[in-house]
Amino acid sequence: MSVFSPIMSATADLQRRHSGLRERYCLDTTPLLQRQMERESNARSYPRRIPLELKRAQGIYVEDSRGQVYIDCLAGAGTLALGHNHPVTVEAIQRALSSGVPLHTLDLSTPIKDAFVQTLFDLLPSDFAKNARIQFCGPSGADAVEAAIKLSRTALGQQTILSFHGAYHGMTLGTLSLSGNLGPKKSLGGLLAGVQFLPYPYSYRCPFGLSGEQSIDAGLHYIRHLLSDPESGITQPAAMILETVQGEGGVIPAPERWLQGLRNITQEHGITLILDEIQCGIGRTGDLFAFEQSGITPDVITLDPRPSAAVCRSR
Ligand SMILES: Cc1ncc(COP(=O)(O)O)c(C=O)c1O
């Protein structure tokens, strides 16, 4: 029997029970959900709309404590690229835990970390990797974005950051300042100063009332104009940050021609181009990194291989 056999049979069981379910799902509250509501803060997001008590998962399936099986379209906000409990992932974690490796070394190196860095650099586009450095941040994606912003501001001695309508970069004060959705930030105050929002080419939200190629052209023209007009009110930016595919904003891929245009503009104006690939990187779009299809080379990439990382290259 291979290590895969029990996993395959667990998946087959969940699949059979999911497709065999003919009755309506029961979503009545449970004592556990009541306790969650009483004890956890109102800042919890998904449980307020999806009242589920999940006890088991395999592959794409999750099962609640009533035995009802669902396809998990959340997949940990896209972090479970191999699904729940993939045998390769489970085996690697078990092997590491039983091998006596130190459980915490701050940022001192270990053979596992060294192997990880080697592998990541081998996978990065060679143009980017040849002069790149990696910074391991905290456990969250927002930590990587914060690091990328601090790095750009420090390196260039400028404050202004260009971000995009519909962007999502995290829930810290700094990353909320760079995010489009007003809900979580409108009553906060004290957000980062110097953030300028620009239009992301999306036909349903185009501020110019255009779509397709025209929307791309208008957006690029607008940005060029802002950066070269001495009356635009925007001081020299340290960085431009964007998601190669906007995730929380609606899963909107950036058109290749637009990305190439942004790369030209940022190069012409000496602006650090940060691509936030926390949700769309590491194989989720077909290539390992979503920006590869456009052929551009960014200056900084934020990634989320847990702990998160900012990888930058020197120009
Ligand atoms: C593009 C992007 N950047 C940053 C973040 C923040 O990551 P975290 O929730 O781990 O802080 C997210 C999270 O969904 C994201 O989608």
SS (H, E, C) the chain: CCCHHHHHHHHHHHHHHHHHCCCCCCCCCCHHHHHHHHHCCCCCCHHHHCCCCEEEEEECEEEECCCCEEECCCHHHHCCCCCECCHHHHHHHHHHHCCCCCCCCCCCCCHHHHHHHHHHHHHCCHHHHCCEEEEECCCCHHHHHHHHHHHHHHHHCCCEEEEECCCCCCCCHHHHHCCCCCCCCCCCCCCCCCEEEECCCCHHHCCCCCCHHHHHHHHHHHHHHHHHCCCCCCCCEEEEEEECEECCCCCEECCHHHHHHHHHHHHHHCCEEEEECCCCCCCCCCCCCHHHHHCCCCCEEEECCCCCEEEEECC
pLDDT for 59 equals 95
Q: Return d(Cα 44, Cα 76) in angstroms, integer.
A: 14
Question: Using CA positions, which residue lies closest to atom 4 of ligand 1?
Answer: 169
pLDDT for 305 equals 67
Atom of ligand 1 nearest to the CA of 144: 4
Atom of ligand 1 nearest to the CA of 247: 16
Atom of ligand 1 nearest to the CA of 172: 11
Please work out, in degrees rounded to the nearest 5, the angle formed at the alpha carbon of residue 212 by the alpha carbons of 290 and 257: 40
Q: 143 C-alpha vs ligand 1 centroid, how far in Å?
A: 9
**92 phi and psi angles, rounded to 5 deg:** -65, -40
Give the dihedral sign, CA 216/217/218/223: positive
Q: 301 C-alpha vs ligand 1 centroid, how far in Å?
A: 13
Q: Which two tokens stand for residue 197?
A: 């929002």
Question: Using CA positions, which residue lies closest to atom 8 of ligand 1?
Answer: 141
Atom of ligand 1 nearest to the CA of 142: 11
Q: Return d(Cα 194, Cα 240) in angstroms, integer.
A: 12
Per-residue model confidence as pLDDT tens for the chain (315 residues): 565 677 778 888 888 888 877 788 999 999 999 999 999 998 888 998 899 999 999 999 999 999 999 999 998 888 888 899 999 999 999 998 999 999 999 999 999 999 999 999 999 999 999 999 999 988 899 999 999 999 999 999 999 999 999 999 999 999 999 999 999 999 998 999 999 999 999 988 899 999 999 999 999 999 999 999 999 999 999 999 999 999 999 999 999 999 999 999 999 999 999 999 999 998 889 899 999 999 999 999 999 866 677 888 776
Atom of ligand 1 nearest to the CA of 276: 1
pLDDT for 13 equals 85
CB 248 within 8 A of CB 241: no
Q: 232 C-alpha vs ligand 1 centroid, how far in Å?
A: 31
Q: Return d(Cα 64, Cα 215) in angstroms, integer.
A: 45
Which residue ranges have their beta carbon within 6 Å of ligand 1?
77, 140-142, 145, 168-170, 243, 247-248, 276, 278-279
Q: Which of 177, 244, 279 to mutate to test the pocket of ligand 1 (most atoms within 8 A of CB)?
A: 279
Q: 142 C-alpha vs ligand 1 centroid, how far in Å?
A: 6
pLDDT for 23 equals 80
CB 164 within 8 A of CB 242: yes
Give the dihedral sign, CA 73/74/78/80: negative
Q: 314 C-alpha vs ligand 1 centroid, how far in Å?
A: 25
Amino acid at site 180: G
Question: Using CA positions, which residue lies closest to atom 7 of ligand 1?
Answer: 141
pLDDT for 311 equals 86
pLDDT for 4 equals 64
